[in-house]
Amino acid sequence: MKEQTGSVILRCDEVTVDFDGFKAVQGMNFSLTRGELRFLIGPNGAGKTTMLDVICGKVKPAEGKVLFGGGVDITRKKEHQIAELGIGRKFQTPSIFPSLTVFENFEIAMKQNRGVFAAMRAKLRREERERIAAQLALVGLEEKAAWRAGGLSHGEKQWLEIGMMLLQEPEILLLDEPVAGMTDGETEKTGELLQQIRKTQSIVVVEHDMEFVRSFASKVTVMHEGKLLKEGSMEDVQRDNRVTEVYLGKRRDADASRSTA
Amino acid sequence: MLQLFNGISVSSILLLIALGLAITFGLMKVINMAHGELIMIGAYTAYVVQNLFAAYLPDAAFGWYFALAIPASFAVAFAFGLVLEMGLIRFLYGRPLDSLLATWGVGLVLQQIARSLFGAPNVGVTSPEWLNGGITAFGGAVFPYKRLFIIGLVLVCLFVMYLYIYRSHSGRRMRAVMQNREMAACLGISTRSVDAVTFAIGSGIAGIAGCALTLIGPIGPSIGTYYIVDAFMVVVLGGVGKLVGTVFGALGIGLSNTLFEYWTTASLGKVLVFLCIVAFLQWKPMGLVAMRSRSLDN
Amino acid sequence: MLLRTMPPQRIWLLAGYAAAAAALFCAPLVLSDFRLNLLAKFLAYAIVALGLDLIWGYTGILSLGHGVFFGLGGYAMAMYLKLNAGGGRLPDFMDWSGLTALPWFWKPFGSLTFAVLAGILLPMLLALVLGYFTFRNRIRGVYFTILTQALVIITVTLFIGQQAYTGGTNGVTGYGKLFGYSLASPDTKRFLYWVTVVLLFGAFSLCRYLVKSRFGKVLRAIRDGENRVRFIGYNPAVYQKVAFSISAGLAGLAGMLFVLHVGIISPSMMGIVPSIEMVLWVAIGGRGTLGGAVLGAILLNSAKSAFSESYPDIWILFMGALFVVVVVFLPKGAAGLFSQLKRVGRRKAADEGANGVRHPAV
């Protein structure tokens, strides 16, 4: 686990995704190093979410490869295998288990043996209970541990899902617009949390909120029409003519998200 | 050769039955188990029309009762479908499993009502004179006119449905609702009336299928249950949302049913068909024609 | 000591189970032999309902094929009884069909151990195979339900068609003895009743354990969002397969008990209608609650035997209407209605504001 930071943990080579003739991603290259917090931006329809889908196995690419860790090819692996290898995903719309309680959501998400028979025998050990309690405190849901998750507010569901993913202890976290629908304070808290997480894990964030990206990004990847447009620091990216061009038509959007941030 | 012909004949009836199922499932995510009873209603309508002709019209006119029976079956089943949709199905949208159970209950009630109205034993419907006999093809195989008539009838229904779905104004609205219900509603389409009318049309077609079944053999209160599961398999095989899928699904199931039963026995044939369907689903789990979606759960 | 640490609802619940157990064990003292036999049959049905609830109520997969699993268990037991009733002779229906030797797959059923094992393991295996080919490909929801219904149809046609091996439409009947004791004698019946009660409690405890375990939580998570479960790292197909298989095994066990109580098994008892009736028991009692499933099976069958003896036609109408009413108005069944009433009562009585569920672990 404790390998030197800077080594590559995820590499996507020439990934192409074909939705019945529509190429959502075309020959995308992407690589992530350990302990990196990477932001993936681009106008709507650029293929950002599809890229996350490819990495976590939800979408199988028509061409190209995704290599994880020391070069394990995960392109053809099933979603649950990829999750077990250590890639966690948070979806754009909060997807939690509404009929389980908040506590139970955490309990099944927690890193553990996921086999059927292990699950039949599993007992909640003391340290596990403490970990869940700590996670509940971190995401501010201690009071609501016994609530059915379906009864939480939108923002609380977001936090619940983030908490679930942290308990999963993945090596890479894929987050799709984590701060959408959060208040300024919560956005700030999320940003700090991400900085905290990157000390031990790697993160890829798809985000539209430019203010948020600017405050927390070290390296940014810009996608446009399924292709890599530019990669570099936020300043590099902002100075790039092509990026401005792509965003020009979307200027109003960018303004809008800036003003809401 | 004759087996092939029989297979196509079976397929054509299955297609007629499955058409309504595929449309209602695709449109409102509702499984109508009472569909079989709508077939039964169509069949008994033909029976009643026949009896009325025999009782009140001169013998010479009797031969033409069937010409009236087809639209009558459609109309009666259409009306039943409309009532069913507005009285029950409407409350079960998007809950396929629940709708399956509730409509099964409805089917049970309808069967029982038919039993008390017409009696439990099967009744026969006398086919019109002009449908007796058949064409003798090369090799001495006989293609009965009745079966040819049914195939023709199904082709006509299919063509009309095609025109309705892909060429008419209300068909376009129906497809719009099927593809994106919320968006269609926002654009001012009354999804309620589209649902009701579509469901009723599907029911009406089942009525026609019932009418056609009277040509093949006697009819009884539970005639629908013989066909309903096969018809559902057509939907599973063909996929939801496109007419083509249903047509090929029906051909696949109808032909393989007939051929396997011919090669082995009736009971083994059914097992083989089932195994083939499961095997096919390994290759295409969503059926022949499937609509893709990006949402996480649907 | 232990009781003091438990929340009051749990004490009540345990008291309720104890009362139910006591009542069931003492039933032979009060009921006539005829009624006792009926109750025994209903308790066997309750075991099926438990299994169905596990797969439908908790995992969200509706099976209309449990009649087949029930039937397989029943046939396994009936084959054993038949072979031992004949005293080494060929079963009568084989004679009529012109068979001269016992078919190979009948032979091992001469042993009770084999028959009992087969009666549980065969349904489990069948469920496992069907589950393997469907869940793996994410065939679910209505598609799966329709496939299970097709399974019923082909099994019934197969059993009717292969008359020489299965007894055809008549099924397997005409046996009266178990270990030399007459199945019809009141003492045997009482004994078999108690066996059924014990097995029902065993099945109930098993299901309760499974449902409360993390396995059960994953099952409910699968019901809520199968795909989401995948991205946490569970393989839902395996969980679905195992749950479906356990459920089928329980149905097989119930089928064996049924044959002991009723003395006949035939294809009509595993057909479409009985299979869907089983679903109704769970729906009436309340899916997602084990007690509800058991109660539903007992209540509905009591009502059925009371009604259908005198008015079979009305019973069918009633059952059809019940399906509609339960699905539309009472999606959580009687148990749901009960807890709804309780909640209304509690809200009136107490100041407890939280509408969440209390979790025993926190």
C-alpha–C-alpha distance, residues C50 and A65, integer Å: 47
Q: Are B102 and C323 in contact (CB under 8 A)?
A: yes
**Structural domains present in chain A:** 1-86+170-261 (3.40.50.300), 95-169 (no CATH)
Q: What is the pLDDT of residue B279?
A: 85
Position C299 in a domain? no
Strands A87-90 and A172-176: parallel
pLDDT at C121: 96
- Yes or no, beta carbons of C215 and A120 under 8 Å apart: yes
| Model confidence at C344: pLDDT above 80 | no
Strand-pairing partners, residue A90, are: A175
H or E segment and range at residue C119: helix C112-135
C90: amino acid identity, one letter: L
CB A117, CB C241: distance < 8 Å: no
Residue A97 pLDDT grade (very low, low, confident, very high; cuts 50, 70, 90): very high
Distance CA C145, CA C154 (A): 15
- Domain count for chain C, please give it: 1
The 10s digit of each residue's pLDDT in A24-77 is 888 888 888 888 889 988 888 888 888 999 998 888 888 888 998 877 888 888
The two structure tokens encoding residue B158: 């299919």
Indicate if the pLDDT at residue C87 is higher than 80.
no
Nearest beta carbon to residue A147 from set C215, C227, C356: C356
Query: What is chain B's mean pLDDT, rounded?
Result: 84
Judged by CB atoms closer than 8 Å, whether chains meet at B292 and A91 is answered as: no
State the pLDDT at residue A204: 92
List chain C residues with CB under 8 Å of A100: 217, 220-221, 224
Please report, as a single letter, which amino acid is at residue B221: P
**In degrees rounded to 5, what are phi and psi of residue A72?**
-75, 125
Hunting for tokens 């075991």 — which residue is that? C47
CA A152 to CA A132: how far, in whole Å? 18
Task: Give the integer Cα–Cα distance in Å for C301 and C303.
Answer: 5
Is B105 in contact with C324 (Cβ distance < 8 A)? Answer: yes
- Closest partner CB to B296 (pick from A19, A20, A95): A95
| Contacts with C130 from chain B: Cβ below 8 Å | 278
CB contact under 8 A, C224 and A98: yes
Is pLDDT of C3 > 60? no
Residue C224's alpha-carbon distances to A121, B297, C57, C116, in angstroms, are: 22, 9, 12, 36
With b for 16 or more beta-carbon neighbours within 10 A and e for fewer, the C6-41 pattern comes to eeeeeeeeeeeeeeeeeebeebbeeeeeeebbbbbb
Q: Which of C143, C153, C283 sits opposite B101 (nearest CB)?
A: C283
C144 inside domain:
yes
Q: Which residues of A touch B296 (CB under 8 A)?
A: 91, 93, 95
Q: Chain C: residue nearest A136 by CA?
A: C362
For the segment B57-72, what is each residue's pLDDT rounded down to a tens digit? 777 777 778 888 899 9
User: Does C312 fall in a domain?
Assistant: no
Q: Do A100 and C221 touch (CB under 8 A)?
A: yes
Q: Residue C57 domain-assigned?
A: yes
In a domain, C31, yes or no: no
C320 neighbourhood in chain B, CB within 8 Å = 105-109, 112
A258 or A44: which carries more pLDDT confidence?
A: A44
Give me the phi and psi of A90, to 5 degrees please: -115, 130
**pLDDT(C343) > 80:** no
Instruction: Say which residues have a Cβ less than 8 Å from residue A137's Cβ, sequence separation at least 6.
Output: none
Residues of chain C with Cβ-Cβ distance to B104 below 8 Å are 276, 323
Alpha-carbon distance C147 to nearest alpha carbon in chain A (angstroms): 25
Q: Count CB neighbours of A45 within 10 A.
A: 13
CA-CA distance, C292 to C284, in Å (whole number)?
Answer: 8
So what's the pLDDT on residue A5? 53
Which domain, by its residues, includes C192? 39-275
Share of chain C above pLDDT 70, in %: 92
Instruction: Kindly give the residue spans of alpha helices, DSSP state H, lying in C163-235.
Output: 163-166, 186-212, 214-224, 226-232
Answer whether residue C173 is part of any domain: yes
Q: Quick check: B105 and C319 CB within 8 A?
A: yes
Q: What are residue C264's phi and psi, to 5 degrees?
A: -155, 145
Q: How far apart are CA B243 and CA B225, in angstroms?
A: 23
Whole-model pTM? Answer: 0.88
pLDDT at A1 over 50: no
- The residue of A101, A136, A168, A176 whose CB has the most chain C CBs within 10 angstroms, and thus the best one to mutate to test that interface, is A101
C7 within some domain? no
Are B101 and C323 within 8 A, CB to CB? yes
Position C145 in a domain:
yes
Which residues between 208 and 247 in chain C have a beta carbon less than 8 angstroms from any beta carbon of chain A? 210, 213-215, 217-218, 220-221, 223-225, 227-236, 238-239, 242
Does C12 lie at the interface with B, CB-CB under 8 angstroms?
no
H or E element, residue A8:
strand A8-19
Return the amino acid letter for C329. F
CB-based burial, C205-219: b 16+ in 10 Å, e otherwise: ebbeebbebbbbbbb
Chains with 3+ CB–CB pairs under 8 A to C are A, B
**Ramachandran angles phi, psi of A135, nearest 5°:** -65, -40
Could you tell me which residues are beta bridge partners of residue B144? B134
